[in-house]
């Protein structure tokens, strides 16, 4: 971490974290206007959905890697954003 340039760290955060955040926001906004579909028409108790959002992680989403602190931090953040968006959408789309 002592060798890492702040510009490189910021670029990694901008791409992986801010990029994911912006795409999540746009996707949730678009999905909120869609008509809900039954998960299973034969089992109404399973509820409805409006689609799925897939975010990409890597092994760095779960483990620390040597000499990769900015990347590891950004991928940990992507997991946090994904979990938060999932919880948010559970209440938004009810």
Instruction: Say whether 75 is catalytic.
Output: yes
- In this prediction, residue 87 carries a pLDDT of 84
Confidence of residue 75 (pLDDT cuts 50, 70, 90): very high
Active-site option among 18, 21, 49, 71:
71
Within 8 A by CB and 6+ apart from 36, the residues are: 48, 49, 50, 93
Rounded to two decimals, the pTM is 0.80
Q: Which segments of 1-94 does DSSP mark as H helices, in order?
A: 6-13, 19-32, 69-92
Task: Summarize pLDDT for 13-69 with one digit per residue, the tens.
Answer: 999 999 999 999 999 899 889 898 999 999 999 888 888 899 989 999 999 999 899
Instruction: Say whether 71 is catalytic.
Output: yes
- In this prediction, residue 79 carries a pLDDT of 95
Active-site option among 49, 67, 75, 83:
75
Contact 85/23 with Cβ under 8 angstroms?
no
Tokens of residue 12, six digits = 């990694």
Contact 8/16 with Cβ under 8 angstroms?
no
- In this prediction, residue 48 carries a pLDDT of 87
| pLDDT greater than 60 at residue 82 | yes
């Amino acid at each position: 971490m002592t060798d890492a340039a702040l510009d490189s760290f910021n670029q990694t955060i901008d791409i992986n974290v801010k990029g994911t955040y912006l795409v999540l926001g746009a996707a949730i906004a678009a999905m909120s206007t869609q008509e809900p579909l039954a998960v299973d028409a034969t089992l109404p108790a399973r509820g409805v959905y409006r689609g799925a959002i897939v975010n990409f992680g890597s092994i760095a989403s779960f483990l620390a890697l040597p000499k990769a602190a900015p990347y590891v931090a950004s991928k940990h953040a992507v997991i946090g954003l994904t979990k938060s968006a999932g919880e948010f959408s559970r209440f938004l789309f009810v």
